[in-house]
Structure 1
Amino acid sequence: MDPIRVMVVDDHPMWRDAVERDLAAAGLQVVAVAANGAEALARFGAARPQVVVLDLQIPAPNGVEVTAEIVRQDPSVRVLILSASGEQADVLAAVKAGATGYLVKSASREELLDAVGRVAAGDTVFTPGLAGLVLGEYRRMLSEPDANDQPQLTERETEVLRLVAKGLSYKQIAERLVLSHRTVQNHVQNTLRKLQLHNRVELTRYAIEQGLDD
């Protein structure tokens, strides 16, 4: 398989260089680096990364704005926030903008590499302890949908969706429900089709909205 193509965006040179070095040493391809939001947006189009490892607190435009813009340009890109802030408001803003994962900078090298691989594969990844806070707050912020307009999911599809909302990988869901990896993928694809959603990130948001992350 081709190495995962990654772009690193951070305004601290030593930190940016360390992340770039760790990614490269693990066999990933760092296709671009940037020190601020303007550089990130300028280099994103030509670099075509699969994953963007992005700090939130960067010179304008900030990480949330950069996330929203690159996801608008390429909905297939995965944004992994790597920030010093573990504040709930920052995490929520990043997720709403389209980020697929959020790690605080105290994460280990191994956690970072694992997170890059997981978000590239379509999983959502949060630093432990943040996911529950974010999912609960996200649900509270959303108005109650009209139940009459909701598509009908099977019990198994709802069960899979609930585990997606908790941030489990397809492999973990398969083990939890004693199903094959492909069966889990099929359930997710069927659910996406019924809900007229396009990817796992949107599916996770839908599950949060429905309160399925409890």
Structure 2
Amino acid sequence: MRRRSFLAAPSLLLAAPAVAATAQGEAAAALLSALRAGGVVVVLRHGITDRSQADTGRLEDRAGQRNLSEAGRAQSRRLGQSFAARGIRLGEVRTSPVFRARDTAELAFGARAVVEARLTADDYTPDPALLAANIAWLRDRVRRPSAPDAVDVLVGHIVPLGMVLGRGLSQAEYPEGALAIFAPQAGLLGMLAAETLA
């Protein structure tokens, strides 16, 4: 499968909205086919959060973190239901220890989710050497699906993924609940909003 992004270029969107919508629809369909076929790794950004809450940087302090909103909890449940309804076979499910990611993983995929410290958000990783090691691990991990017909899901955060890709990611490009889909040889195939699977 060719490397394609679900998000059309801005010039295409301005020049020909109907063509852009078709291109986006075709790209989304290709990404959904890749999920059904398996052998890919998804980096799932945690679900929608309550932006009135602030992070303190303390991993074990739920009250001191930005947590999922009710919309985010519902979004996470729908995502798991969509995986099941579409026949997407799960491989490994690993999650950042930050509560918004853990809750996303557990609501979507249940008890199979395993906490993975190397997926921790950058603002919870003040040691630059540790952050660099975490990014190196993630860069390697997205290239290695655990099974040829399964989808591994890594539930994490926007900044570490941007560091893996070597560029900043905007909220519009990679909103809360979005999936970044990687294939072993092709790298990043594209991104899907969670609602695309609903």
Q: Report the TM-score when normalising by structure 1.
A: 0.28
Higher RCO by CA contacts (8 Å cutoff, separation 6 or greater): 2
More helix by share: 1
Larger CA Rg, structure 1 vs 2:
1
> What is the TM-score of this pair, normalised by structure 2?
0.30
